[in-house]
Amino acid sequence: MYILGLDCGGTSSQALLTTTSGQILGSGRGGPANYTSNGVEGVVASVTQATQQALRESKLDLSQIHSAGVVLALGVSGASRPPDIVDLTQAFQREGFPHVVVRHDATIAQLGALSGADGVIVIAGTGSIAYGVSGLQRSRVGGWGYILGDEGSALWIAVQALRQVMWGHDGRAPRDLKLEEVALEYFQISQVEQLVPIIYRTPIDRGFIGGFSKTVTGLASQGHKNCQDILAQAGQQLGRLAVAALKNLDLIGEPGRVGACGGVFAAGDYLILPMQEELNRAGAKQIVSLPDFDPVVGAVLLGAQALNLDLERVVAELGSSLTK
């Protein structure tokens, strides 16, 4: 029997085909697969693309894995409501997969980051969210979008930096010439006022604006105090997400790890240390750590859970396969 795990994200989708013991047979990549943005048809198309690539790499075909039996396990961005799960499950059953498990992509991120163990992760990319598991309990904190939430995210970091530029331009704060210079360069403009139509353009290009956070991180690594402070504030915000999730699950006093997932954590200690300090202030005994595995591995673990397999053994084999 096989497990076909899929990480379905807003930018791309990834597939991993494994045996039930965790041996990796093939991997593949497909197009964007966000349920909200791309719809059922878009998710199915991208999953099919990624699956075909994984099958080619494994030198197997669809009829062979169906004959032996396969669990299709997917973590799908944008699929957070029970009707979404039903919709997607039925769609893939119509595609010929009788055994389908669909969850929100935060679920597979948590499984991969902590190798299937209970605990909390914080995902910080363009947006931000904390998600935790303790037995049958689940907790989601944040993830309310760029107006109501997403504190500590790439977009949030970028906006804080651009506010510093605007405040300096107004005279409300000392003018930060270096930050202003890199902002004008990144957005390809010549005057600070030209930021306004770019930022308020509809639909908002969150990925492009959030990409400026990498420039902020770069300046922080060169000793730029304002940018270091912004990253520290982001870390505090992400720490608060984690603390709330830990409290919701009664894990605040339990030793363990908080998984730090997403591109924002490339900022390293400028962000992770303030996040850890926020946990320490709350009395948490958790240590912030980078994820053990990518979410697509978490999708395989989701399939293994559905089959009631020994997760520790599957994790060990997956780890061995990935290092070969």
pLDDT, tens digit, 9 for 90 and up, residues 14-51: 999 999 999 999 999 999 888 888 899 999 999 999 99
What pLDDT is recorded for position 323? Answer: 79
Q: What is the mean pLDDT of the chain?
A: 94
> Stretch 71-88: mean pLDDT, rounded?
92
- Contacts (Cβ under 8 Å, ≥6 apart) of 137: 248, 249
CATH number assigned to the domain covering 2-115+292-323: 3.30.420.40
Q: Is the pLDDT of residue 324 over 80?
A: no
Q: Is the pLDDT of residue 205 over 80?
A: yes
Residue-wise pLDDT for 83-101, tens only, equals 999 999 999 999 999 999 9
For residue 153, the model assigns a pLDDT of 93
Element (H or E) spanning 142, and its range? strand 137-142
- For 19, the 3-state DSSP assignment is strand
Q: Distances from the Cα of 153 to the Cαs of 9, 123, 125, 132, 142, in angstroms?
A: 17, 9, 6, 18, 11
pLDDT greater than 80 at residue 74: yes
Secondary structure of residue 134 in the 3-state scheme: strand
Q: What is the pLDDT of residue 85?
A: 94
Contact, 232 vs 260, CB < 8 A? no
pLDDT at 206: 85
pLDDT of 116: 94
Predicted model pTM = 0.88
Residues of CATH 3.30.420.40 domain(s) within the chain? Answer: 2-115+292-323, 145-289
Band (pLDDT 50/70/90 cuts) for residue 77 is confident
Q: What average pLDDT does this structure show over 60-66?
A: 91
Angle at 230 between CA 225 and CA 234, to 5 degrees: 145
User: Which CATH code, of 3.30.2130.30, 3.30.300.180, 3.40.50.300, 3.30.420.40, is assigned to 145-289?
Assistant: 3.30.420.40
- Given this model, what pLDDT does residue 125 score? 87
pLDDT band at 137 (very low <50, low <70, confident <90, very high): very high
pLDDT for residue 263 is more than 80: yes
Confidence bin at 80 (pLDDT 50/70/90): confident
Q: pLDDT tens digits for 148-174? A: 989 999 999 999 999 999 999 999 999
pLDDT band of residue 249 (cuts 50, 70, 90) is: very high
Measured CA to CA, the distance from residue 80 to residue 103 in angstroms comes to 8
Q: Name the pLDDT band for 9 (thresholds 50, 70, 90).
A: confident
Percent of the chain whose predicted confidence (pLDDT) is above 70? 100
The pLDDT score that the predictor gives to residue 204 is: 83
Angle at 136 between CA 5 and CA 129, to 5 degrees: 65
